[in-house]
Amino acid sequence: MQLIRHSVHAFRAAPAVVALAAFAADPALGAVLPEDRADVLYHRYDGGGITIDGPSVLVRKKIGESVSVSANYYVDMISSASIDVQVITGASRYEEERTQKSIGIDFLRGKSTYSMGFVNSEENDYEANSAYFSISQDMFGDLTTITMTYKRGWDDVFQMARQENGALLRDPGFAEQIDRRGYGVGLTQILTRNMILAVNYEVLTDEGFLNNPYRQVRFLDPDSARGFSLQPEVYPATRTSNAISARLKYFLPYRAAIEGQYRFFTDTWGIQAHTGEINYTHPAWNRWVFDARVRYYRQDSADFYSDLFPRRDFANFIARDKELSTFTSYTFGVGASYEFAIPRAPWIQRSTANVRFDHLLIDYEDFRDARLTDPANGIMPGEEPLYRLNANVLQVFFSIWF
């Protein structure tokens, strides 16, 4: 259900640990097409009562000297007994599956690269479609690359309702839409023989049904045995966010590299966030590459967020999504890649086996574990322990270049 989809926001969001990140490559430092390659990945996320796993396949292929096409198929199989589900419904666990399909094309003309693509994502109560177009231009002796991007998304939001026979089907009386637009500009600059700087700025606008039809807020209610009652959350119908990031990569003399990143985010809902990350990559024994990373993320809460409202209908907009609260997260990750030859396959230029493990820790500063409310034993609403999430993310994938 969509409640689960929002519960794993930190896993799927761009700054966080996303399974497909294993396929991402460094930005091109010249007008060149992506290499012909195929990747097969298995990912698994386990934390906060949520388990997500599934496969992904990505293929890139050049057509002539000027065109490259790509296609990706990605599956999330989700099993959840998250804190959101248990507090609101009392349910122990439910399952769903999300599939994502995408296609892309890159066209090279002189020192310019034109890219466009389409992504479709479907689950039982949410359908998302997005398209993008970008232009990259090399200049100043290929030392500088300017990129401009436009993205457009349109989502359909549904709600599942339990029928008399026990089956879960879409509620025919509920259907909402979301319109998303994004604009970005980026600069990649070769500073020295060993140092590269990339700076990006992005504006995103969302309009439509932006909250979750399942999630509810809680408010004080002396007539309730728990001391609180629930009502549906209500969000503004618009949101605009701005993000600026900088990435500096330095190549060390012994073929290793160290990279630092910083990102600042702000939006019209009152959230401000800071992200810092350090990565180190080290080759060894000709065929191995090891890497490690540490990531820090900190955000303030949305203006209309509260863990516990003083009464029903306290404000025009109300939310209790923990991803809109004040929290700090830390990610510690390690990875390894081994290059090997595939016998009797001369058309394969090289191949690698890769594994990556990340541990995610999130400390919520104003989101409490309402499952522990127990007035009879002195644990009153608003006095429960603060919630803390620990999650592990595993990625295993194989790549071949042909």
Cα–Cα distance between 364 and 329 in angstroms, integer? 9
**DSSP state at residue 28:** P
For residue 59, is it within any domain?
no
213: closest CA among 164, 177, 166?
177
Interval 216-243 mean pLDDT: 96
Residue 247 lies inside a defined structural domain of this protein: yes
Task: Tell me if 6 is assigned to some domain.
Answer: no
Domain membership flag for residue 27: no
Give CA–CA dist 228/320, Å, rounded: 14
* Residue 174 domain flag: yes
Q: What is the mean pLDDT of residues 231-245?
A: 97
Number of domains in the chain: 1
Please report, for the domain that includes residue 281, its CATH number.
2.40.160
Taking CA atoms, 49 is separated from 86, 214, 223, 389, 390, in Å, by 10, 17, 30, 9, 10
Judge whether 65 lies within some domain. no
Rounded to two decimals, what is the model's pTM?
A: 0.88
What is the spatial distance between Cα 198 and Cα 259, in angstroms, rounded to a whole number? Answer: 11
112 found inside a domain: yes
Distances from the Cα of 345 to the Cα of 52, 351, 364, angstroms: 34, 11, 51
In tens, the pLDDT along 62-86 reads: 999 999 999 999 999 998 766 765 5
| CA diameter of the chain | 75
What is the C-alpha separation between 68 and 115, in angstroms, rounded? 9
Domain, as residue range, for 120: 106-401
pLDDT tens by residue, 336-353: 999 999 988 889 999 999
Q: What is the pLDDT of residue 333?
A: 98
Q: Please indicate, yes or no, if residue 72 is contained in any of the structural domains.
A: no
